[in-house]
Structure 1
Amino acid sequence: YPENAVRTMHDVCVETEKSPTAKVSHHRLHECFDHIDETIAMSSMYAANHLGVKVVVALTDSGKTPLWMSRMSSNISIYAMSDSVATLRKTTLYRGVYPCGIDKMNDAEWEKVNGRVVSILEEKNIVEEGDMII
């Protein structure tokens, strides 16, 4: 019986997540934000949900930006990239957020940082050429 109960719960969850209302979040849509990282997170997730983005990447030292992102209902995976083991451990507890280590790139050009992020995601078979990433 436990196996049937789990299978039934799984089926209910899968069908519920197919609903358009489950995919579009109105979380704090008409509110003002108090923090810059919160504003960036909410803007990124809003854009991702409307552009057909495959994944969202948050380069983070503290883990706060992916935490804000995880509070929005979305089927888009969020990758928290950090060189801090403590931050990566913390982000494992966030809904829909996957921790991913990245070497510290002090004073690197943004093109190099973006290239490294894409390389990591491609190496892990998370994205492929042509996928949109925020």
Structure 2
Amino acid sequence: MTSSSTGIPEGAEDIPPGVALPLESNLAYMNGISFTKGCYIGQELTARTHHMGVIRKRLLPVQLSAPLLSGRIPEGSDILTESGKSAGKYRAGGDELGIALLRLANINELLHINLPGDTTVNLTATVPKWWPKPANK
């Protein structure tokens, strides 16, 4: 079960093994990554990305425009901008809440998912309150 309202990923639906990157999954924000110790698979890429400070996608909570009447949104469904540009992938959720991997550049745009049967579900992304605040430069 996902903690969709808070944007905290839980389990393989939210963080698919072999697909999800630790920084995109917000693991550094949750102290799930150490940049001072250990050796782990992907450590070099993760550390380099962290220190460069360029993370273009992150898991975010999403609010659906209405509860789904006909079941769930399939995992990995494409999330599109109003112009039809890819904005990310839906990971998991239920009712009106979900969690999605989204390009940060698109989170303030109108987003939607096209479902079978010519059904469109609109969604709104939010930045979780527990995320660290950006430093003023």
Greater share of residues in helix: 1
Verify same fold: TM over 0.5: no
**TM-score relative to the length of structure 2:** 0.22
Select the structure with the greater relative contact order (CA < 8 A; seq sep ≥ 6): 2
Per residue, is there more strand in 1 or in 2? Answer: 2
Q: TM (normalized to structure 1)?
A: 0.23
In terms of Rg, which structure is larger?
A: 1
